[in-house]
Structure 1
Amino acid sequence: MSHETRRSLEKGGYRAQLAAYADRRVLLRSRQGTDMTASFPEIRAAALAQLPADTGLDGELVVWEQDHLAFERLQQRLARRGAGAAQAARQWPAHYVVFDLVHAGADVTGWPYKRRRAALEALFADHGLQAPLTLCPSTTDPAVARGWLEWTTAGVEGPCFKQLDEPYRPVRSWRKYKVRATTEAVIGAVTGSLATPWAVLLGRYDTAGRLQYVGRSTTLSQTTGRALADLLTPSTGTHPWEGWTFSAGWGTQRTLEVHLVQPEVVMEVAVDVARDSSGRWRHPARPHRVRTDVDVAQVPLFGEDAATS
């Protein structure tokens, strides 16, 4: 088997399949099979106007806002239908970034990726496909792929890698390279218990001196958990997060059970580029170490990106 790979960009959006049928039906569905067509009328209209019948695409829905990918706008748009969806399309227009071809008059999932990619590029060229349908950049040149890393400042998570001879698989089989950076944040709460913390909730102070929630960590190692247990102090008096609730993560309504602590311990973490509109980290941060040598006042302010790679 050949191990030559092609790199393509990983966007900060929703994975989705787009199908245009011979009877002029259009279906936009999530990886889990949820029908999202009514929420994105501009994508449906573009598919009707531009795609040949009996075409199936795999790609990602993205929304740009202020030159940055806005994942939370996609979430807001999913709840809109009818007139609400049309208004949202004007306010937060989406693009469908296409990175694979699965149907072209017949099932092409058995073709090697190199052949599917060539057919996908021909589809865009021959039919003049244009925004909001967008062809995802792709290359076999490592130097070009390295240049794409600069795009992470706009919220692009990094390149993905596919073998040129592999068939299409519905479950993602390619490797992803996520750009991560190290930075510091203040521990404001923990899950688990103070004696055995499982994860930490992290904050940063804003310019008004208020501790804002910026994100949570992945599960702590036993070593890190034990080290933290000796440093954390239960909250006394009024905590800046008193009465707040924290979600277990994107796409779930489950609320975390947390224990507030005095915001006086700094942790160094690794984070990727995914942010919401307020600057919070969309994915859990990876704990590196407790920074007893760093004062809370030295932690970057909320909204600042002072991380270094």
Structure 2
Amino acid sequence: MTWTLPEPMLSAAVNSPDLPQGWAAEPKWDGFRAQLSTEAGQVVLRSRRGTDLAGMFPEIVAATAQLPDATALDGELVVWESGRLAFERLQGRLRRGAGAVEASTTWPSHFVAFDVLRLAGTDTTAWPYRRRRTALEDLFAERQLSAPWALCPSTTDPDTATEWLSWTAVGMEGVCFKRLEDPYRPSVRGWRKYKVRETQEAIVGAITGSLAASRSLLLGRLDARGLLQYTGRTTTLARAASTRLSGLLVPAAAGHPWTGWTFSAGWGTRETLTVTLVQPEVVVEVAADVARDSADRFRHPARLHRIRTDLTPADTPLFQTR
């Protein structure tokens, strides 16, 4: 029977950085989630959303020669630059296409493995995390895996997990928590994540300007009922960001949740914005100050930090009414 990669196990955001009893902690990398499988010389390298990444990261594909045949890993693709994780360089790798080989030399990537899904032909997804973790550590030790492979740290020590929260200077986002006795559950949000960065994700629901040249983004989040609620807008976009978004934004279909809404041009003003509704599918990460109104909307425009093509609307924090 042919073995296929399972859908990724997912994480849910939590507000507490404390390591729960019976769980392990791992650093949360500022990278691109990826799964890898190799069998009989055939390599699959795909993103969390199923995008084929093999052609974009030839150095990772070549390095599968270090792995046992019929092995699959879950992890994070990262790029280091000047002693820190460089997500922008990683996104540049994803956009290079035909220039992937050249880019692999200019901005070489690493695959930070945090789980093993198959090992030398044995499906390990039903194993508890603690057993999968031991198998992953043994794989690195016995095979003496070297770059571009990297083993993600893991700990059950609360003090160590707390120390990792101070690694933001090198680009770490926070920590992930994984229950020691849990199997690998595809598509289930059984892991937890705590982010220490002040940026946050939101969904693009509308824009000012045009689809070809958006000027600013109107942002939203899903509430507990799954409805998109408005949370604020961004400052004027840089040309490069506007250009990239033009290939991602899609005109709104009938039944957009903001149909008929009006949006204020500024806090405390009566002037309204002229907006174009778009399909609420694109996720962005923004930096916003702490000033909010009673409905948890930004009182001041947020600054676009980056576009998160690796995330879906379901990955954004829930809208919370104060």
The normalised TM-score by structure 1 is 0.63
The residue type paired with residue 77 of structure 1 is R
The residue type paired with residue 100 of structure 2 is A
In structure 2, which of residues 271, 286, 297 is the aligned counterpart of residue 284 of structure 1? 286
CA contact (8 A) 2:216 2:237 kept: no
In structure 2, which of residues 34, 37, 40 is the aligned counterpart of residue 16 of structure 1? 34
The match for 1:121 is 137
The match for 2:51 is 34
Q: Is 1:177 matched with 2:194?
A: yes
Question: How far apart, CA to CA, are the structure 2 residues paired with 1:250 and 1:117?
Answer: 42
In structure 1, which of residues 79, 84, 90 is the aligned counterpart of residue 105 of structure 2? 90
Structure number with larger C-alpha Rg: 1
Q: Residues 67-126 of structure 1: CA distance to partner in whole angstroms, max 9, x if unpaired?
A: 2322232222223345x1110001111010000010013111000000000000000000
The match for 2:95 is 79
CA contact (8 A) 1:43 1:96 kept: yes
Local SS of the residue matching 1:7: strand
The match for 1:159 is 175
CA RMSD of aligned residues (A): 4.5
Alignment of 1:236-247 (within 5 A): 246=242
CA contact (8 A) 1:248 1:254 kept: no
The residue type paired with residue 195 of structure 2 is K
In structure 2, which of residues 52, 68, 72 is the aligned counterpart of residue 52 of structure 1? 68
Question: How much does 1:35 deviate?
Answer: 1.4
Question: How much does 1:290 deviate?
Answer: 5.6
Change (3 A) 1:253 1:68: farther
Question: How much does 1:247 deviate?
Answer: 8.1
Local SS of the residue matching 1:44: helix
Question: How much does 1:166 deviate?
Answer: 0.2
Change (3 A) 1:147 1:53: same
Question: How much does 1:245 deviate?
Answer: 7.8
CA contact (8 A) 2:111 2:149 kept: yes
Local SS of the residue matching 1:8: strand
CA contact (8 A) 2:110 2:149 kept: yes
CA contact (8 A) 1:220 1:287 kept: no
CA contact (8 A) 1:58 1:101 kept: yes
The residue type paired with residue 176 of structure 2 is C
Change (3 A) 1:262 1:108: closer
The residue type paired with residue 46 of structure 2 is R
Change (3 A) 1:150 1:90: same
Local SS of the residue matching 2:249: coil
The match for 1:299 is none
CA contact (8 A) 2:78 2:90 kept: yes
Q: Residues 264-297 of structure 1: CA distance to partner in whole angstroms, max 9, x if unpaired?
A: 99xxxxxxxxxxxxxxxx6134663269xxxxxx
Question: How far apart, CA to CA, are the structure 2 residues paired with 1:215 and 1:154?
Answer: 29
Question: How far apart, CA to CA, are the structure 2 residues paired with 1:79 and 1:111?
Answer: 36
The residue type paired with residue 289 of structure 1 is A
The match for 2:248 is 252
The share of aligned pairs that are identical, in percent, is: 45
CA contact (8 A) 1:28 1:37 kept: yes
Local SS of the residue matching 2:161: helix
Q: Which runs of 5+ in 1 are unaligned?
A: 183-190, 193-198, 201-212, 229-238, 266-281, 292-302, 304-309
CA contact (8 A) 1:103 1:109 kept: yes
Change (3 A) 1:178 1:127: same
Change (3 A) 1:288 1:80: closer
The match for 2:13 is none
Q: Is 1:104 matched with 2:119?
A: yes
CA contact (8 A) 2:37 2:71 kept: yes
Question: How much does 1:219 deviate?
Answer: 5.4
Change (3 A) 1:53 1:240: closer
The residue type paired with residue 283 of structure 1 is E
The normalised TM-score by structure 2 is 0.61
Local SS of the residue matching 2:60: helix
Q: Which runs of 5+ in 2 are unaligned?
A: 1-19, 200-204, 209-214, 224-229, 253-261, 270-283, 294-304, 306-322
CA contact (8 A) 1:217 1:287 kept: no
Question: How much does 1:170 deviate?
Answer: 2.5
Question: How much does 1:150 deviate?
Answer: 1.5
Change (3 A) 1:43 1:158: same
